[in-house]
Amino acid sequence: MSETEEKKTGLWTLFLTFAKVGVMTFGGGYAMLPILEREVVTNHGWATSEEMLDYYAIGQCTPGIIAVNVATFTGFKERGFIGAVVAILGILFPSVVIITSLASVLQLFQDNVYVQKAFGGIRIAVCALIASTVIKLTKKTIKTIIAAMITIATFCLELFLNASPVIIVVSTIAVGLIIHFFTREKKEEEK
């Protein structure tokens, strides 16, 4: 058996890992990011922290749920097309089971004060998880004055002008490319 064949991640492992992440679906994709990072980077070593940041960025810029997109990238990296499909099924399976179960029961209890209070608590926890993810991503990503300025400009565009995410992403891609070419030319001139 070759070294690459020995290191292949099992399809069952991919499915179970992403199903474990999928169970923590409360709050959607952003709330799952810390769990995804722990499973993919720390527990399994399927990606580096820098690769996960790339997965998050690409996953945010492409259609679909960010967690599903990250599962797709990871599964594809580990086992190709079939790995991507298995990872997607893993991350979606718990949601389908939980939502189907809840949908049948929720209408009976939606006016119950305890259920309403429980959902209020869940919303607070989800906000905390999202805030934690934002702080971690900020620490890993913003390493220059230019990156900080782009972050502040993007935040202001979204908060005050309600700018389209598509326009923001396309604009930041353009700014990133312009900065890259400008700094590359400057370095070449210095040589």
Q: Where is the domain boundary, 96, 114, 132?
A: 114
Asked whether residue 5 carries a pLDDT value surpassing 50, the answer given is no
Shared-domain flag, residues 98 and 152: no
Q: What range defines the domain where residue 73 resides? A: 1-114
* Whether residue 91 is found in the same domain as residue 148: no
Asked whether residue 81 falls in the same domain as residue 169, the answer is: no
Q: Are residues 84 and 157 in the same domain?
A: no
Span 101-113, average pLDDT: 79
Residue 147 placed within a domain: yes
Residue 125 in domain:
no
Q: Are 96 and 88 in contact (CB under 8 A)?
A: no
Q: Tokens 């370095």 map to which residue?
A: 187
Taking Cα atoms as reference points, which of 64, 61, 74 lies closest to residue 14?
74
Is residue 59 in a domain?
A: yes
Chain centre distance of CA 66: 5
Mean pLDDT of 141-156: 88
d(CA 11, CA 146): 42
| pLDDT at residue 3 in the model | 43
Indicate whether 97 and 173 sit together in one domain. no
Residue 105 has pLDDT above 90, yes or no: no
Mean pLDDT to the nearest integer, 112-126: 84
Whether residue 73 has pLDDT greater than 70: yes
Asked if residue 103 and residue 152 are part of one domain, the reply reads no
In this prediction, residue 112 carries a pLDDT of: 82
- Residue 109 lies inside a defined structural domain of this protein: yes
Confidence of residue 2 (pLDDT cuts 50, 70, 90): very low
- Two structure tokens written together for 120: 């209020």
Looking at the structure, tell me whether residues 98 and 161 fall in a common domain.
Answer: no
Out of 46-50, 128-132, 154-158, 177-181, pick the least confident.
128-132
User: Do both 74 and 13 map to the same domain?
Assistant: yes
On whether both 57 and 102 belong to a single domain, the answer is yes
Domain count, the chain: 2
What SS3 class is residue 152?
Answer: helix
In a domain, 78, yes or no: yes
What percentage of the chain reaches a pLDDT higher than 90? Answer: 24
Give pTM, 2 decimals: 0.63
pLDDT score at 173: 87
- Same domain for 98 and 146, yes or no, is no
Q: Average pLDDT, stretch 49-62?
A: 84
Of the pLDDT bands very low, low, confident and very high (cuts 50, 70, 90), residue 117 is confident
pLDDT of residue 67: 86
The reply to whether 132 falls in a domain is: no
Same domain? For 159 and 67 the reply is: no
Residues 2 and 91 in one domain: yes
